[in-house]
A and B are shown apart, each in its own frame.
Chain A
Amino acid sequence: MRFFNLTAIMAAVAFATAAGPVRADERIEVVATFTILADLVRNVGGDRVEMTTLVGPNADTHVYTPSPSDARKVAAARLIVLNGLGLEGWLGRLVKSSGGAAQSVIASEGITPLKPSHDDHDDHEHGHDHGHAHGDVDPHAWQSLSNVKRYVENIRRALAEADPAGAETYRANAERYATRLDALDQEIRSTVARIPEDRRKVISTHEAFDYFAKAYGIRFVAPQGVSTDSEPSARDVAAIIRQIKKEKIPAVFLENISDPRLIERIAAETGARIGGTLYSDSLTDEKGEAPTYIDMVKHNIRTIADALN
């Protein structure tokens, strides 16, 4: 810990003396904890913010272990944007140990949190024993667009406070982005409306889609009695197959079962269709299918609709 502190402080000092005054255009340094927030901040802040993301594309925010260079980034930041709802359990210590004086804003402030419906946290998508520190609320609030509008508003306010000169820009950007979110929301609703009502359910181990499910009326059925470690037992597989047959679930999104052949087996034996990849916790990089938040949501709804229609 001591070493960590020292590096952080040294790095912070070095950074402050070296990089601080050179910057001609007064861009403000903002740190976002993960890619989805970073994308939102970028949309609101535009050119006026210098973005840094702690947990990069495709990485898992729940189990992130900060590195000394993260402490440096945090120390140098003017504003830290975090999701809250217990997602970034590791951030508090990082902020303290970095010794920076950044403001932080909790993007999810003001939304109505859901309780996690999956009690059994062992069956998170990758099946590791995560030591999930979710506590009693579900942090994946960004899967509902009305929540994200709230996020955007919170981010806009925080940016305006940190950089009053840009307040007008931020307001305009936020408004423009909110319009796009509204359009996307409409698109999702009309897409869901085209899916026959009795087919609006998938079996999924994703615990991240409760907000999505609630907002748009697609049921995410959790496979029962499955605690998927590295290897599911024959009983687990049999249980999933029986359940899919019984509830006549048209599509499976079972990404925590990492062996695609097993999913194919399940699909072959039940007649259910295999859904593609759903992105829940993280954006992909530029070349991926979901480089921005809006792309991600579009990709998810298209994938779900393809599997159900």
Chain B
Amino acid sequence: MIYDVLVGPFLEFEFMRRAWIGVLALALSGAPIGVFLMLRRMSLVGDAMAHAILPGAAIGFLISGLNLFAMTFGGLIAGFVVAALSGLVARNTELKEDASLATFYLVSLALGVTIVSMRGTNIDLLHVLFGNILALDNRTLMVIAFNATITLLVLAIIYRPLVIECVDPVFLRTVSRAGAPTHLAFMALVVINLVNGFHALGTLLAVGLMILPAGIARFWSRDITGMIAIAVFAAALSGYAGLVLSFHAGMPSGPAIILVAALLYIASVLFGSAGGLLRQWFPGRHLEA
């Protein structure tokens, strides 16, 4: 009975298996990125970037139709341009990075919506941009897996400076000049994972599987390795549970996945062992060495 509910859908339907694999790949690469975003207080940057990639994807779609690579590539370019421009303005003028990013992503979003609406009447591009985890064909899966692999590789390379920059950027600046390239590489990873996310969850929710697991992990671990492991696990669990929920309750799968993650988040806020509310209200006996 429980077996039928939890495993049955995946045995009976290939699209469920593919969705599960896709979610797993997203969890593996997106959740660590989310943890770093959170540690650098850039959680909302992810959201802004998600909107910024819209016009690129739209242009990709206009040029070559529903071509996965064109749309991914366009999204990547638009994301990079917005990230670079806002960084440039922030570094050379009085405007802070958050304000200039907000400006550029809004411009980008407006451009995207304009391009979308200029495209005839019949095909609703927004539906296309609303990715669908249930429709992962081979190529989409390959793209997602490829992006996830790249992410993990690059993350392994820049791990050390990235961690140091998260906790003590001034120190990093004094001992190394890796700060700026690390930051750029990291922003590139953010964009890659957002593009990954929108294939599966759509532009609006692409950030969800990055940020929410990071928030969850923050309540269970204080060290960065532990956080990353827990975030990946939480993301994979949300993906699985969301798919099962979508299958049995008929909820749209993207939102279902994010809502499960939100439930996990609420539970973590309450019961988390590292700074959860219950722990704060009823602290255990102080351990003495």
Contacts and interface: CB of A to CB of B under 8 A. Distances in A.
Interface of A: 58-60, 126-127, 229-238, 241, 258-262, 264-266, 268-269
A232 B252 contact: yes
A231 B9 contact: no
Interface stretch (B131-139, B151-159, B161-169, B213-221): B131-139
Contacts of A235: 246-250
A265 B247 contact: no
B252 A231 contact: yes
Nearest 8 CB-CB pairs, A to B? A262-B135, A258-B127, A231-B252, A261-B135, A234-B246, A234-B247, A235-B250, A233-B250
A234 B122 contact: no
Nearest to B253: A234
25 contacts: A58-B120, A126-B124, A127-B127, A229-B252, A230-B126, A231-B252, A232-B134, A233-B247, A233-B252, A234-B9, A234-B16, A234-B134, A234-B247, A235-B250, A238-B12, A238-B13, A258-B124, A259-B132, A260-B66, A261-B66, A262-B135, A264-B135, A265-B15, A266-B15, A269-B15
Nearest to A237: B134
Contacts of B13: 237-238, 241, 269
Given A59-B121, A232-B134, 13 more contacts: A58-B121, A60-B121, A231-B253, A231-B254, A231-B255, A232-B132, A233-B247, A237-B13, A237-B134, A241-B13, A261-B140, A262-B135, A269-B13
| Interface-central residue, A230, A233, A241, by most chain B CB under 10 Å | A233
B132 A261 contact: yes
Interface string B210-246: 0000000000000000000000000000000001001
Given A59-B121, A231-B253, A258-B128, A265 B248 contact: no
Contacts of B66: 260-261
A127 B127 CA distance: 10
Contacts of A59: 121
Contacts, number: 88
Interface residues of B, number: 37
Nearest to A128: B124
Given A127-B127, A231-B252, A260-B66, A238 B9 contact: yes
B130 interface: yes
Nearest to A264: B137
B18 to A, nearest CB: 8
B123 interface: yes
Contacts of A264: 135, 137
Contacts of A241: 13, 15
B63 interface: no
B119 to A, nearest CB: 11
A241 B16 CA distance: 12
B59 interface: no
A233 B66 CA distance: 22
A233 B124 contact: no
Contacts of B202: 231
A262 B132 contact: yes
A229 B132 CA distance: 13
A59 B120 CA distance: 9
A230 B253 CA distance: 11
B19 interface: yes
Contact of B132 (A58, A127, A231): A231
Nearest to A285: B120
Contacts of B253: 231, 233-234
A231 B133 CA distance: 10
A58 B123 CA distance: 10
B251 interface: yes
| Interface-central residue, B130, B135, B248, B254, by most chain A CB under 10 Å | B135
B251 A265 contact: no
A137 to B, nearest CB: 25
Contacts of B121: 58-60
Nearest to B14: A269
Contacts of A233: 246-247, 249-253, 256
Contact of B123 (A230, A237, A258, A269): A258
A264 B132 CA distance: 13
B170 to A, nearest CB: 46
Interface string B245-281: 0111111111110000000000000000000000000
B122 A58 contact: yes
Nearest to A225: B250
Nearest to B132: A259
A262 B123 contact: no
B125 to A, nearest CB: 9
A146 B251 CA distance: 43
Nearest to B123: A258
Interface in B102-132: 120-124, 126-128, 130, 132
Interface string B16-59: 10110000000000000000000000000000000000000000
A19 B247 CA distance: 62
B250 A236 contact: yes
A127 B134 CA distance: 17
Contacts of B122: 58
